[in-house]
Structure 1
Amino acid sequence: MTDQTPASVEALSVVAFDLSLTASGVCYRDGSTSTIKTRERDGDRRLLVIEEAAQIAVGGEHLGLGPAPALAVLEDIPKNSYAAKPIAMVHAIVRTVLMKAGVPYALVTPATLKSYATGKGSGDKVPMALAAYKRAGREFEDDNQCDAFWLWCAGRDWLGQRPFDTDMPKAQREALKKVDWPEVAR
């Protein structure tokens, strides 16, 4: 796991997950990121590793870890993809953790996330990393952390908490309207 931390944490906290069975990106409440890496040889036991890491990221009074975040943001399960089945298993585990902690969550499609981050809904991971560097001076160990960071930014932006010193362009913020955002206790 790696860790990068920006300046501050606001009252309405957000956690974000770019989920995968082999390497899930996590962005914590303070904006720091890490990757939950699992080994294929461990089979379905990898789900337990992901569950434990998600519990730590989410926290919550029910675990004696303080208040849970106000919102979690997850990259949605890809449609028509070979990876959809294993990612769906990971989603089930993480969503269960979120529900037990009482944390509402939003699902953001990859195209919507790319539109928010770069202004274009298609392409590879390089524009996402470049946008994070230009906008926030952030670099990541892998694209999983980068995607989790952008999901975190989208959640904060939706809650009215600017994720950067400058505002996102209006056209890019418009992408957030495509997300079915849950009610969040303020």
Structure 2
Amino acid sequence: MQPRVIGLDLAAESTGVALPDGTTSTVKAPKAAGKKRTLLDDLNRLNHVGSTIAYLLADHKPDLVVIEDYAAGIKSAAAHRLAEIGGCVRWSCYVHDLPIALVNNMHLKIYATGAARGVEKGDMRISALKRAGAEFANDDECDAWWLRAMGLDHLGHAPVTLPKTHRNALAKVEWPEVSA
């Protein structure tokens, strides 16, 4: 039986989700009520994204959650919003006793395309289309799909066949113990 893996590409405005059945979706953060973002707007975002992901985790009961880790060098208010969302999601995994694997963005790119540098978002989508015939509504869903694919591959259920050069990225991830 295939393990139940969820892939999450967290973002301040739009979070990509890949569910255990292979479907993908996007959780959009609510827009600010006025022209200037307020504390209440930020709390509404955290509540919406955090509770939606918590519901998905409880509903799908994954064996493993694979999350794109924070990118180094982000220096903006978006980085703070992403950290808040990431904290909510990590806490939800903790509360549901779900193992988490954090994947560096460069390792995700290597796994999907074979390269870390010079990879554009479109390259990830092209690789998914060529290798799996998979198409996505947006880049967030594509990244979430690749994160789920990495988790499945690590657990011995690769959804796509990739060259060893791509799969070497799996060894760079600190994988938790999974009882699937």
Q: Secondary structure at the match of 2:124?
A: helix
What is the CA–CA distance in structure 2 between the aligned matches of 1:114 and 1:89, rounded to whole Å? 24
1:103 aligns with 2:98: yes
What are the equivalent positions in structure 2 for 1:77-88 lying under 5 Å apart? 77-81=70-74, 82=76, 83-88=78-83
Per-residue CA distance 1:62-99 (angstroms, 9 max, x = gap) = xxx4x721100000011110333221111100011111
CA drift at 1:39: 2.5
Q: Secondary structure at the match of 2:88?
A: helix
Query: Structure 1: 5+ residue runs without aligned partners?
Result: 1-9, 60-64
Map of 1:89 onto structure 2: 84
Map of 1:35 onto structure 2: 26
Aligned length: 169
CA drift at 1:138: 1.0
What are the equivalent positions in structure 2 for 1:90-169 lying under 5 Å apart? 90-122=85-117, 123-164=119-160, 167-169=161-163
- Ranked by relative contact order (alpha carbons within 8 Å, sequence separation 6 or more), the top structure is 2
Q: 1:170 aligns with which of 159, 164, 173?
A: 164
What is the CA–CA distance in structure 1 between the aligned matches of 2:89 and 2:141, rounded to whole Å? 16
Q: Secondary structure at the match of 2:159?
A: coil
RMSD across aligned positions (CA): 1.3
What is the CA–CA distance in structure 2 between the aligned matches of 1:24 and 1:169, rounded to whole Å? 28
Q: Is the CA contact 2:10–2:16 (under 8 Å) kept in the aligned structure 1?
A: yes
Q: Secondary structure at the match of 1:40?
A: coil
What is the CA–CA distance in structure 2 between the aligned matches of 1:55 and 1:39, rounded to whole Å? 17
Q: Secondary structure at the match of 2:174?
A: coil
CA drift at 1:56: 2.5
Q: Is the CA contact 2:30–2:48 (under 8 Å) kept in the aligned structure 1?
A: no
What is the CA–CA distance in structure 1 between the aligned matches of 2:8 and 2:56, rounded to whole Å? 10
Map of 1:184 onto structure 2: 178
Q: Secondary structure at the match of 1:160?
A: coil
What is the CA–CA distance in structure 2 between the aligned matches of 1:176 and 1:106, rounded to whole Å? 11
TM-score (norm 1): 0.87
Map of 1:13 onto structure 2: 4
Q: Secondary structure at the match of 2:65?
A: strand
CA drift at 1:100: 0.9
